[in-house]
Amino acid sequence: MNIEVIKADITKIPADAIVNAANSSLLGGGGVDGAIHRAGGKQILEECIQIRNRQGKCNTGEAVVTAAGNLPAKYVIHTVGPVWNGDEDKSSKLLEDCYKNSLQLAESLGVKTIAFPNISTGIYKFPKELAGRIAVETVRNFQSDNIEKVIFVCFDEENEMIYKKLLD
């Protein structure tokens, strides 16, 4: 699996799947979640509502998939990151689950390229360096037959520098 880092708006990335740092309601929110729903249009929210009607809310660490509406991607994989509360072990495991479950879902959909935002490092306040280490390690450890490229899409310079260093 080829791993890339870029500083960009994830809604502009033409990958097979982009990942959304959603909240457990799946009904949209701020940050990257708001940006994805705004740029992708109402199809994404409609499918999120159908998922909620089927299974209820999405638990932290889990992932679900919708179409990508107007985005230049095929799928949006919505995963719910942990809110940082200082419990490093528990939060780290949940963040690892986000990356693992998103990759597993992508794998089952035959996705070749997948783009991740820096899950939980915005409104959810997960320490960026630790989040980056977990993201890179989980992707590196994932065994895949289909996924050829993983793109870490950083939105701020601090994350970009952290990821560049981790992947050096």
Is 10 a binder of ligand ADP (CB under 6 A)?
yes
**20 near ligand ADP, rule: CB under 6 A:** no
Q: Contact between 118 and ligand ADP (CB under 6 A)?
A: yes
33 in active site: yes
The rounded distance, in Å, linking the Cα atoms of 147 and 9 is: 21
The full DSSP string for 34-92 is: HHHHHHH-HHHHHHHHHHHHHH-SPPTT-EEEEE-TTSSSSEEEEEEPPPP-S-HHHHH
- Catalytic-role residue among 33, 87, 97, 156: 33
Q: Which range, of 70-78, 102-110, 114-122, 140-148, touches ligand ADP by CB under 6 A?
A: 114-122
Least Å distance between CB 153 and ligand ADP? 5
How many C-beta atoms lie closer than 10 Å to residue 14's C-beta? 11
List interacting residues with ligand ADP (CB under 6 A).
9-11, 21, 31-33, 35, 81, 117-124, 153, 155-156, 159
